[in-house]
Amino acid sequence: MSRRARTSPAKVRVAIGALALLLLLIGAWELYVDLGGADPLILPAPHSIAKALYTDRSLLWRNFLVTAQEVLLGILVATVLAFALSVLLHFSPVVRRAVYPLLVASQALPIPIVAPVLVLWLGFGILPKLIVIALVSFFSIVVTTLAALAGVDPALLKLMRTFDATRLRIFRHVELPAALPGLFTGAKIAVAVAVIGAVFAELSGSSSGLGYLFQQANAQILMPRAYAAVVILSAFAIALFAALTVAERLLLPWAYQPRGDLA
Partner 1 sequence: MPAKGATTETSEAPAEEPLDLHGPGGVRVAGVNRTFRTKRGDVTALAGMSLHARPHEVVAVVGPSGCGKTTLLELVCGLQSADSGTVDGAPAALMPQRDLLLPWLSAIDNAGLALRARGVSREEARAAAAPWLRRFGLEGFERTLPAELSGGMRQRVSFLRTLLAGKPVLALDEPFASLDAITRAEMQGWLAHVLASEPRTVLLVTHDVEEAVVLADRVVVMSPRPGRAVAEIELEMPRPRRRTDPRVVELRERALEALGVGA
Q: Give the binding site for partner 1 (CB under 8 A).
A: 1, 153, 155-156, 158-165, 169-170, 173-174, 177, 252-255
Asked if 115 and 201 count as a contact pair (C-beta separation under 8 A), the reply is: yes
Question: What minimum distance in Å lies between the beta carbon of 166 and partner 1?
Answer: 8
Closest separation in Å from C-beta 159 to partner 1: 6
Q: List Cα–Cα distances, 166 to 90, 158, 161, 170, in angstroms.
A: 16, 12, 8, 6
Of 152 and 189, which has the nearer Cβ to partner 1? 152
Give yes or no for a contact between 62 and 208, defined as CB atoms under 8 angstroms apart.
Answer: yes
**CA separation for the pair 134, 127 (Å, rounded):** 10
99 vs 165 by CB, closer to partner 1: 165
CB of 3 to partner 1, least distance (A): 10
| Pick 78 or 170: Cβ nearer partner 1 | 170
Cβ nearer to partner 1, comparing 39 with 153? 153
Least distance from C-beta 64 to partner 1, angstroms? Answer: 36
Minimum separation from the CB atom of position 91 to partner 1 (A): 19
Q: What are phi and psi of 247, to 5 degrees?
A: -60, -40
Nearer to partner 1, 50 or 156 (CB): 156
Taking CB atoms within 8 Å and a gap of at least 24, the contacts of 90-96 are 90/146, 90/149, 90/150, 90/175
CA atoms within 13 A on the CB side of 227: 17
230's CB contacts (< 8 A; 6+ apart) are 214
